[in-house]
Amino acid sequence: MTTDDTTAGDDATRAYLDRVRREIDDEVRRRRAAGDFPPSFERRLDELFARFTPTGTADDAFTEALKLADRSAYFDIEVPIGSRREPKGFVKWSLWQAEAWFVNYVVTQLNHFAASAMRVLHLLDERLSDVERDVGSLTPPPLPEEEVLVPGADPAPFADAVRAALTAATSPAGRVLHVECGDGSLVASLAGAGVDVYGVDPGSAAADRAALAGLDVRRDDVLGHLGSVADDVLAGLVLSACVDRLSLAERRRLLRLAEEKLAPGGTLVVIGTMPEAWERAAGPVAADLAPGRPLHPDTWVHLVGQLGFSGAQATVGADGFAVLATKGRSDVPGGGPAGEAPAASDHAAR
């Protein structure tokens, strides 16, 4: 360790400033004790600023806000009428006496209204708490840490079909993204065929090796990365591995992002694991407790068709499958008009 070599003043200055600091502390203490610096003034400053402070983002933010609302929901009729100067105090008292009956009438109604409104809010809080409790009980318990995630389907058996679709003359301009690309084998294969491709993987050491081998592979969160890509720019998007384990809501978000980011005519490829093969590999605990499990190829065909992709078609291999579809265009092989009922799976290849 080496440290800063700047010099920091001389002893005389230090001693002088220490003395000044002590004098300031003494003055504050003395004037507080004498009532020159009333503590109530500082307290009022804190209270006023607290009014503008947002409630916390923590779990108890609602409770916190409710308490704050409870405290503010009472209107005090006793206005301060004290004053250091006698005549001023008398004027305030006289005004108060003259208007007390009217103010009291209005404030009483306001207090009734505020109390009723707060009662409604508390009831809502109770009901929401019940709902939260019920929803919480539906969440499956976490997977044991020692449960190893099942690797995604090997893309190799589908590489030819993917390459053919992405190098077709009808393919739009733009880059191809392989999401959760693992060791980058498909990225390498596509790059070798002249496709402008890059891969993203959330954390596998294999992806690091791919990057070191010169492939354009980055470590990034799947949904986060896709969300940061501009709309309508990708010529192709290959989704693999994560499609087997994401929750249903995350899968829907993934497909919506795919639809947004692909250029018109762009190719969507979903490479998934066959549910039966996944169950065999996962074992009973992971299979029962996993937040998401692989979908059948027909289900993917159905889902992408619902999103307006055309020509959705599944190719099924030994343990995995690939679903290929085109964004909103019917002039590609196997394509149909957007929204048309999806084509059936090609089980012959199984």
Partner 1 sequence: MRPTRIDQVVPSFSGRDAIGVHMTHVRDLLRARGFESDIWCEGTFPDVRSQCRLLTELPARPRPGTWWLYHLSSGSPVADLIRRRPEPTMLDYHNITPGELFGPWVPWAVEEAASGRKQLDDMIGATFFAFADSIYNEAELRDRGCTRTRVVPPMFDARALESGADRDTLAARREERAEGGADWLFVGRVTPSKAQHDLIKALACYRRFHDPRARLHLVGSWMGDDYPRALRRFASGLGLGAAVHLTGPVPEPALAAYYATADVFVCASEHEGFCVPVVEAMHLGVPVVALAATAVTETAADAALLLDDKSPMALSTAVHRVLSDATLRGRLVEAGRARAHEFSLDRSRQRWAAAIDEAIGAYGGGSS
- Nearest distance, CB of residue 31 and partner 1, angstroms: 8
Is 86 a binder of partner 1 (CB under 8 A)?
no
Q: Which of 22, 28, 67, 164 binds partner 1 (CB under 8 A)?
A: 28
- Nearest distance, CB of residue 192 and partner 1, angstroms: 15
3-state secondary structure of 216: coil
Locate 323 and state its tokens: 């679903």
Quick one: DSSP state of residue 82?
-
Q: Which of 36, 132, 231, 331 binds partner 1 (CB under 8 A)?
A: 36
Inter-CA distances, 313 with 15, 20, 128, 246, 286, Å: 83, 82, 44, 22, 29
- Nearest distance, CB of residue 53 and partner 1, angstroms: 7
- Nearest distance, CB of residue 40 and partner 1, angstroms: 12
Is 40 a binder of partner 1 (CB under 8 A)?
no
Closer CB to partner 1, residue 19 or residue 280?
19
Is 27 a binder of partner 1 (CB under 8 A)?
yes
Secondary structure element (H or E) that encloses residue 230, with its range: none
3-state secondary structure of 181: coil
Q: Which of 33, 34, 40, 52 binds partner 1 (CB under 8 A)?
A: 52
Is 256 a binder of partner 1 (CB under 8 A)?
no
Contact 328, 338 (CB under 8 A): yes
Contact 237, 222 (CB under 8 A): no
- Nearest distance, CB of residue 234 and partner 1, angstroms: 15
Contacting partner 1 within 107-126 (CB under 8 A): none
Locate 226 and state its tokens: 């896709």
Is 211 a binder of partner 1 (CB under 8 A)?
yes
In the block, tokens 């301009």 appear at: 173
What's the sign of the alpha-carbon dihedral 223, 224, 226, 230?
positive
The residue count for binding partner 1 (CB under 8 A) is 49
Q: Which of 98, 212, 230, 348 binds partner 1 (CB under 8 A)?
A: 212
- Nearest distance, CB of residue 329 and partner 1, angstroms: 28
Locate 327 and state its tokens: 């964004």
Inter-CA distances, 195 with 11, 274, 325, 332, Å: 70, 28, 18, 18
3-state secondary structure of 124: helix
C-alpha span between 18 and 21 (Å, rounded): 5
Is 189 a binder of partner 1 (CB under 8 A)?
no
Q: Which of 163, 175, 218, 252 binds partner 1 (CB under 8 A)?
A: 218
Closer CB to partner 1, residue 13 or residue 306?
13
C-alpha span between 326 and 267 (Å, rounded): 5
Q: Choose the stretch contacting partner 1; rule: CB under 8 A; options: 4-12, 107-115, 142-150, 230-238.
A: 4-12
Beta pairing partners, 346: 315
Provide the binding-site residues for partner 1, judged by CB under 8 A: 1-10, 13-14, 16-17, 20-21, 23-25, 27-28, 31-32, 36-37, 41-42, 45-46, 48-49, 51-57, 61, 208, 211-212, 214-220
